[in-house]
Amino acid sequence: MIFNSLKTNITIGFFIAFILFLAAFIPFLKFQQDSISKDIQKKYSDISNYAHFYRLNPFDLEKYVLSLNFKKVNDVRRVLDGKKTAFSTAGYESFRFDDKLYFHIRTPHFRILFEDVNKYEKKLYPYVIFLLVFFLLVFIYIWILKALKPLSTLKKHISEFSNNQIEVSCKINGKDEIAQVANEFDKTAKKVSLLLNSRQLFLRTIMHELKTPIAKGRIVSELIDDEKQKNRMVIIFENLDSLINDFSRIEKIISKSYKINTKEYTLLEVFDKSFKFLMLDKNDNKVLLDINDKHKVKVDIDLMAMVFKNLIDNALKYSSDRKIKIQLDRNSILFISNGNKLEKNLDEYFKPFHNSTENKNHGMGLGLYIVKSILDLHKMKFSYNFSNNKNIFEITFN
């Protein structure tokens, strides 16, 4: 949501502050205008009282008023017909016409209309204060946004880092908290980058070194005279080579650097590949395969075969009768085996190395972690249910 943006919240906060300041300033301007109006009315009242007190005749009154910077109006009817906002009291009235101020003296015997040419200037200091506060708010707003700008850069680098762009640099010159966080993240990113590069180099070196004896074993197996034994050894070494390739894929999946390659395959094609990994025959009585031969799924066949292989292997290893039933249920595939219910919540098994290494009957605890990682890449749902003493793992396709 847009209001979750810190920059947006700060902008809204300053906008509200400016509106409140403006709301306080406008009544002050009105008060100033009312104050000027009162001063004018007092001046006119004093003139009127003076004229009445000394009983000035029209000639003396005109002379007196003109001496106070007024100008006599000759076109009286035109002005009086167009007057606006009149202030009227005994002896005189004041009004505006064509943005000019007029003073109309009224007595029982005569009337005289004057134009007030005096300058009633508003005080400047309120406007100066308004401009100062306005520019101060703008300055503080820009200063805060500038101070927060490194956060946007840091967010960008963190996003890049999370997307496997580990070679990031976000060092900032400064001593504030944002600079400290950015610099600590920069140090951490460099350490993580070094560790990941070391891990990748270590794993790739091992896999490279293992491929050499596997290749030699594959060649030597061709020299075996017994055709049956030769074929068996060839399959073993080919599976070992495939296993090394699987390790490479797993390493890339876990490090989020694997580019998935999906195509349409029948489920039978995927299972055939997984059975080769397990060195099992699809007609093996340990595996009851109940699927539609024509049912197709869009998957990365190497990865999905690895998922099926792990789930079948787990079932054969941990089920009470060392058997598994695989069946298709609408848009889901179920892996069903007899056995005890999982001791922990399924989410616990999605963590790598969740098994105790003291138990020799268990592996490294990577099976379901790999399964979940691959299914997440395919955006498929994975769930578990225990019913009638059966463990049921379900994969729901897109």
- In tens digits, the chain (398 residues) has pLDDT values of 455 677 788 888 888 888 888 887 788 777 777 788 888 888 988 888 888 888 888 899 899 999 999 999 988 888 888 887 677 887 888 888 888 899 998 887 888 999 999 887 777 777 788 888 888 888 988 888 887 777 777 777 777 766 666 666 667 676 777 777 777 777 777 777 777 677 666 666 777 677 778 777 878 888 887 888 888 887 787 777 767 776 776 766 666 667 788 999 999 999 988 888 787 776 678 889 888 878 899 999 988 998 998 899 888 888 888 899 999 988 899 999 999 998 888 888 887 655 544 444 444 456 788 888 889 889 999 999 999 999 999 999 87
Q: Are residues 60 and 32 in the same domain?
A: yes
Residue after which a domain boundary falls, among 159, 192, 221? 221
CATH number, domain with residue 339: 3.30.565.10
Residue after which a domain boundary falls, among 97, 116, 135? 116
Q: How many other C-beta atoms are found inside a 10 Å radius of the C-beta of residue 235?
A: 13
Q: Are residues 271 and 382 in the same domain?
A: yes
**pLDDT, tens only, 44-71:** 888 888 888 888 888 998 999 999 999 9
- Structural domain of residue 80, as residue ranges? 2-116
Q: Are residues 133 and 112 in the same domain?
A: no
Q: Are residues 26 and 93 in the same domain?
A: yes
Asked whether residue 266 is domain-assigned, the answer is yes
Q: Are residues 43 and 153 in the same domain?
A: no
The first and second tokens of residue 110, run together, are 């005569």
pTM as predicted: 0.49
Asked whether residue 367 is domain-assigned, the answer is yes
Q: Are residues 213 and 283 in the same domain?
A: no
Asked whether residue 155 is domain-assigned, the answer is yes
Asked whether residue 352 is domain-assigned, the answer is yes
Q: Are residues 355 and 311 in the same domain?
A: yes
Checking 200-207 for CB contacts under 8 A at 24+ apart, the result is 200/251, 200/255, 203/247, 203/248, 203/251, 204/248, 207/244, 207/247, 207/248
DSSP state string for 377-392: HTT-EEEEEEETTEEE
Asked whether residue 380 is domain-assigned, the answer is yes
Total domains present in the chain: 3
Q: Are residues 105 and 149 in the same domain?
A: no
CA dist 197 and 136 (Å) reads 50
**pLDDT, tens only, 345-383:** 888 888 765 554 444 444 445 678 888 888 988 999 999
Cα–Cα–Cα angle for 25, 29, 31, rounded to 5 degrees: 115
Residue after which a domain boundary falls, among 174, 196, 221? 221
Task: Please name which of 341, 345, 340 lies closest in space to residue 321, comparing C-alpha atoms.
Answer: 340
Q: Are residues 290 and 336 in the same domain?
A: yes
